[in-house]
A and B are shown apart, each in its own frame.
Chain A
Amino acid sequence: MTENDKASSRPTVADWGAASAAIAVDHLVKLYKQTRAVDDISFSLPRGSITGLLGGNGAGKTTTIAMIMGLVLPTSGRVQVLGHRMPEQSAAVLGRMNFESPYVDMPMRLTVRQNLTIFGKLYAVKNLAGRIAELADDLDLTDFIDRANGKLSAGQKTRVALAKALINRPELLLLDEPTASLDPDTADWVRGHLERYRRDNNATILLASHNMLEVERLCDRVIIMKRGRIEDDDTPEAIMARYNRTTLEEVFLDVARGRVNGAKEAAR
């Protein structure tokens, strides 16, 4: 039986109301030669939610997000974004979503304003000059908006990348380590901005992070991945209670070091 046959015999995204979900992932598998980077995962994210995708290096978080974005093709299984299948119907949704990742840069020689202008045009943003001014004000970019991106500090670059990710007022925002390399003050400020953006726009945010405090503060749901599979999926509070832990960091260490059963039994 092929991976596709297995997937087709199981409940599909449509069966669990995926059409109304922001993201619906159905029995998703990604094989790289012999390696199962993502191993039969399913989840659905309601609109307006913030979900944290946790896991150690190589857990499959980035591959999962890349498949949701259509940058990587699944070996089997299905992804639906804002009611459209990815990557087949990507043209219908790419303008309504956006992303930020430390693995992707913006052109270094172009100024912040030039970069935002180009991405604004790519996303067909109306009143682009006004939108750039609004983002510059919101994200405190004004002082360096006409400086080349390559001459900015790490914190400034992260804010510019966030401005690019918000340029089209996305309904769905995918963030890979949004506060990596930021000092605690700037990181806290970025988290506050994301919270406000979600609240004001009823946006859906999927966030991959190694920062457990960030996930505890921002996320109303946590999906923990390990070796390509979903190890746990619940609210942060429920997960901490299940593992008898007071922080997500302790839960993360339990999962990473294989102390899952012991921790769960101790909680019982």
Chain B
Amino acid sequence: MTDLSISPHRIGAMILRYWYLLLSSWPRLLELLYWPALQVITWGFIQYYIAENASFFARAGGTLIGAVILWDILFRGQLGFSISFLEEMWARNLGNLMMSPLKPIEFLLSLTVMSLIRLAIGIVPMTLLALFLFHFNVYALGLPLIAFFCNLIFTSWSVGIFVSGLVLRHGLGAESIVWTLMFAIMPLACIYYPVSVLPVWLQYVAWALPPTYVFEGMRALLIENTFRIDLMLEALVINAVLLVASFWAFLALLRSAKKHGSLLSGGE
């Protein structure tokens, strides 16, 4: 039976490990900052241009730039989780960790904390850029922003846990999945357009993804000034299922890695 008790000092040790790494490497810090900044600048100007030429977008000010910020929370949240995990693979340190008293649940919890830290480093400057360059204040969304953020970060952790399990089982040959899986969700999550754009049969798939509820909720808030709490609660329920399923999948993939001896190789 899996022991689910946790030790805060072991989780703290792992957070310290990633914190030391971030501080020791300016390219790692720069990578956290530059892409979100680039995204918000590009989409901010696109939004400006469209708003000047389309009455709907003039009325629905901020939906594109808001969407790109929320998308980055989802994408960067998962990357923040997965890159910290990949650091162990790249450093060939996983054997040391697996042989230590660190439990899988503690390892995963430390990765979730690191995902929040990395996300904060990248997203906060991004939101300030949006405010100063395009006068879009994401914090003005108020309490709904917390609901959006929580649902997106929970999904990002589920995906992060699952892809980390895949890399654990299949080695760095599966690394590309870490970088690309979230993009498979992108068209179905309806980031830049409403769910009604999709064919009816595909809408069922879209509504199985928590981010879809968040982006629909964001549009309702920005266009109709309505906070759809029902959408947030439905997303939360799906997220709870996804988190449990991804943790179970991680443990199953870890067991499979031990069965096939993948932890000894870890390479391609």
Contacts and interface: CB of A to CB of B under 8 A. Distances in A.
A124 B7 CA distance: 10
Interface in B9-59: 9-10, 12-14, 16-17, 20-21, 24-25
A229 to B, nearest CB: 18
B100 A119 contact: yes
A223 B94 CA distance: 28
Contact of B100 (A94, A103, A105): A94
Contacts of A70: 98-99, 258
B141 interface: no
A91 B263 contact: no
B228 interface: no
B261 interface: yes
Contacts of B198: none
Interface string B71-110: 0000000000000000100011111111111110000000
A213 interface: no
Contacts of B10: 121-122, 124
Contacts of A212: none
Given A114-B17, A123-B100, 12 more contacts: A32-B260, A32-B261, A72-B259, A72-B261, A95-B101, A97-B99, A98-B99, A101-B95, A107-B87, A109-B21, A119-B13, A123-B101
Interface string B115-145: 0000000000000000000000000000000
Interface in B199-255: 255
B263 A72 contact: yes
B99 A71 contact: yes
Interface of A: 30, 32, 37, 62-63, 66, 69-73, 87, 91, 94-95, 97-99, 101, 103-110, 114, 117-119, 121-124, 148, 164
B181 interface: no
Contacts of B16: 117-118, 121
B264 interface: yes
A109 B18 CA distance: 11
Interface residues of B, number: 34
Contact of B102 (A110, A122, A148): A122
B268 interface: no
B261 A104 contact: no
A73 B95 contact: no
A-B pairs with lowest CB-CB distance, top 5: A121-B13, A104-B95, A105-B92, A95-B101, A109-B24
Given A105-B91, A107-B17, A121-B12, A91 B103 contact: yes
A69 B95 CA distance: 10
A73 B98 CA distance: 13
A97 B258 CA distance: 19
A66 B100 CA distance: 13
A18 B87 CA distance: 39
Contacts of B100: 94, 119, 122-123
Contacts of B24: 109-110, 148
A110 B20 contact: yes
Contacts of A32: 260-261
A24 B258 CA distance: 20
Nearest to B28: A109
A91 B3 contact: yes
B13 A103 contact: no
Contacts of A105: 91-93
Nearest to A101: B95
B13 A118 contact: yes
B99 A94 contact: yes
- Of B93, B99, B264, chain A has the most CB atoms within 10 Å of the CB of B99
Given A91-B103, A109-B21, A73 B93 contact: no
Contacts of A63: 261, 264
A250 to B, nearest CB: 31
Contact of A122 (B13, B91, B258): B13
A57 to B, nearest CB: 14
Nearest to A66: B264
28 contacts: A30-B261, A63-B264, A66-B264, A70-B98, A71-B95, A71-B98, A71-B264, A72-B259, A72-B263, A73-B255, A91-B103, A94-B100, A103-B95, A103-B264, A104-B92, A104-B95, A106-B91, A106-B93, A107-B87, A110-B20, A114-B20, A118-B14, A118-B20, A119-B13, A119-B96, A119-B100, A121-B12, A124-B101
Contact of A72 (B13, B17, B258): B258
B21 to A, nearest CB: 6
Contacts of B255: 73
Contacts of B259: 72-73
Contacts of A121: 9-10, 12-13, 16
